[in-house]
Amino acid sequence: MTDLDASTVVIENLRRVATLCGDALEGDVVLGIRNGRVRFAGLRGSLPREFGAALRHDAGGRLLTPALIDCHTHPAFVHARAEEWRMKLAGVSYEEIASRGGGILSSAAHVRGAGNDQLAEATLRHLRALRAHGVAVVECKSGYGLSLEHELRQLRAIAWAAEQAGVKAVGTCLAAHALPAERRGSPELREQYLREVCEQILPQAAAARLALRADVFCERGAFSVEEARRVAQAARACGLALTVHADQLSHSGGARLAAELGAQSADHLEYADDADIAAMKAAGTAAVLLPGSTFFLRQERWAPARRMLDAGLKVALSTDFNPGSSPVCNPAFIMHLAVTRLGMTAEESLHAFTGGAAAALGLDGQEWGCIRAGSRAAFAIWDVEHEQELPYYVGSNLCAGVITCRGWQD
Ligand code: NIG
Ligand code: FE
């Protein structure tokens, strides 16, 4: 990881800069950065004099893009779920594994059993892996704690690990991910957990500034539309922005609910239809597509990305990095799936991991996911000649590093 600790920095020896707002820059390109913001992007001969004494960083003649933004991840887990993967390969479905106490509950059992240090170190490894693949901003969900104590432990682990890894974390409380084991078996127990989420977990996560957003898994086997609406209303009352795991395994109504609530995004959306797309468009709710999980779960149905893009919806892509449905920390592989399975172009796939992802997280698109005067000094450099090669070299990690400069998060 390269964190350039100087107030003025010049990144030089760039073959090409994909600004993602306007034309790419080619030739002997340099970037001039002051106080964590881009001030100049252009040919060396035009670099303003104020950068004469700046710290210089040699990018080795490579391609530079804005650092990637991964807007949907579950990185605070301590145990791979490779055993249940074997069951899945033998034909047992994701929902069947979940109903046998596997799946999310198995990750929760491991998180609850892990010490704070173990949880934090595992989360750090995961965030470092994402950064090594070009990511500087990561939305990080809890959701494997499923109680006040353990959801807050996960969110604290995320905050610590993000600082150590040099990534900006956007914390999201996903206490409404699954009903914990000890609250199963009766409607009263179910109600108790919903009250714990609405009255304790979300308010405390928000008050401690550990989460800026709340998420809910709206699906049969998880939470109904009614329950999800209730969780979302409680979240909104504590000032949290909203997002929904929606229409992943069935047409569960999550996208429609996200639109109704004015959520920042609805995520997954394999089963979303044209009416859902129209509702999201009208509400300004972004579509976050997670083809890594569609692929890993070997679902036949892929999200209708083309119809979404053609309808003018804001579309983002993300790894959905998690131990159950998408143990994938490589955005370029997700871009490959977007191009080959979702009908997106290579350009659209990169935009969906930068500007589109910024929009899904409510980040200012003038500052995040693009390179222009005033944008944040967070970049990825790549061992390819052109950004269209990122989805093309399937399965490789061609990221030569993420570069951030002092003050980029401030
Ligand atoms: O985004 N769908 C629900 N949540 C995760 C999977 C979580 C897990 O299986 O641990 C997802 O696919
Ligand atoms: Fe997810």
Looking at residue 372, what is its pLDDT? 98
Give the whole-angstrom CA distance, residue 368 versus residue 70: 12
Length of the chain: 410
- For the cut 90, the answer to whether the pLDDT of residue 135 exceeds it is yes
Directed axis angle between helix 148-165 and helix 104-113, to 10°?
80
pLDDT tens for residues 17-36? 999 999 999 999 999 999 99
**15 within ligand 1 shell (Cβ under 6 A):** no
**320 within ligand 1 shell (Cβ under 6 A):** yes
**324 within ligand 1 shell (Cβ under 6 A):** yes
Give the whole-angstrom CA distance, residue 37 versus residue 326: 33
Please report the sign of the dihedral spanned by the C-alpha atoms of residue 20, residue 313, residue 362, residue 380. negative
**Cβ distance 379 to 32 under 8 Å?**
no
Work out the percent of the chain whose per-residue pLDDT is above 70.
100
Question: For a substitution probing ligand 1, which of 93, 140, 179, 245 has the most ligand atoms within 8 Å of its CB?
Answer: 245
**84 within ligand 1 shell (Cβ under 6 A):** no
Give the whole-angstrom CA distance, residue 59 versus residue 207: 42
Q: How far is the CA of 375 from the centre of ligand 2 (A)?
A: 28
Q: What is the 3-state secondary structure (H, E, C) of 207-233?
A: HCCCCCEEEEEECCCCECHHHHHHHHH
Q: Which amino acid is at 392?
A: Y
Q: How far is the CA of 145 from the centre of ligand 1 (A)?
A: 14
Question: For a substitution probing ligand 1, which of 217, 243, 297, 321 has the most ligand atoms within 8 Å of its CB?
Answer: 217
- For the cut 80, the answer to whether the pLDDT of residue 340 exceeds it is yes
Nearest CA to ligand 1 atom 12: 325
- For the cut 80, the answer to whether the pLDDT of residue 101 exceeds it is no
Give the whole-angstrom CA distance, residue 90 versus residue 111: 26
Q: How confident is the model at residue 96 (pLDDT cuts 50, 70, 90)?
A: confident
**243 within ligand 1 shell (Cβ under 6 A):** no
Nearest CA to ligand 1 atom 3: 217
Domains of the chain: 2-66+369-405 (2.30.40.10), 68-360 (3.20.20.140)
Looking at residue 207, what is its pLDDT? 98
What are the φ and ψ backbone dihedral angles of 274, each rounded to 5 degrees? -65, -35
Q: How confident is the model at residue 3 (pLDDT cuts 50, 70, 90)?
A: very high
- Angle made by CA atoms 366, 238, 220, in degrees to the nearest 5: 90
Per-residue CA distances from 252 to 217, 223, 248, 268, 294 (Å) = 10, 10, 8, 12, 16
Across 305-327, average pLDDT: 98
- For the cut 70, the answer to whether the pLDDT of residue 1 exceeds it is no
Ligand nearest to the CA of 70: 2
Looking at residue 100, what is its pLDDT? 80
- For the cut 90, the answer to whether the pLDDT of residue 102 exceeds it is no
| Assigned token pair, 17 | 């800069």
**322 within ligand 1 shell (Cβ under 6 A):** yes
**Cβ distance 211 to 176 under 8 Å?**
no
pLDDT tens for residues 296-310? 999 999 999 999 999
What are the φ and ψ backbone dihedral angles of 373, each rounded to 5 degrees? -60, 125
The residue with tokens 């935009």 is: 351
Q: Which residues pair with 42 in a beta bridge?
A: 30
Q: Which atom of ligand 1 is nearest to the CA of 248?
A: 2
Sort 281 into a burial class: Cβ within 10 Å, 0-12 / 13-18 / 19+: middle
**142 within ligand 1 shell (Cβ under 6 A):** no
Looking at residue 260, what is its pLDDT? 98
Across 197-211, average pLDDT: 98
Nearest CA to ligand 1 atom 1: 320
Across 66-75, average pLDDT: 99
Looking at residue 95, what is its pLDDT? 82
Alpha helices, DSSP H only, in 223-328? 225-237, 254-261, 274-283, 291-296, 305-310
| Assigned token pair, 52 | 């004469």
Looking at residue 317, what is its pLDDT? 99
Distance of alpha carbon 368 from its chain centroid, rounded? Answer: 14
**319 within ligand 1 shell (Cβ under 6 A):** no
| Assigned token pair, 278 | 């129209």
Q: Which atom of ligand 1 is nearest to the CA of 268?
A: 1
Question: For a substitution probing ligand 1, which of 73, 104, 154 has the most ligand atoms within 8 Å of its CB?
Answer: 104
Nearest CA to ligand 1 atom 5: 325
Looking at residue 265, what is its pLDDT? 98
Q: Which amino acid is at 40?
A: F
Per-residue CA distances from 242 to 136, 234, 257, 262, 285 (Å) = 22, 10, 11, 8, 10
- What is the secondary structure of 60-78 as a DSSP string? EEEEEEEPEEEEEE-----
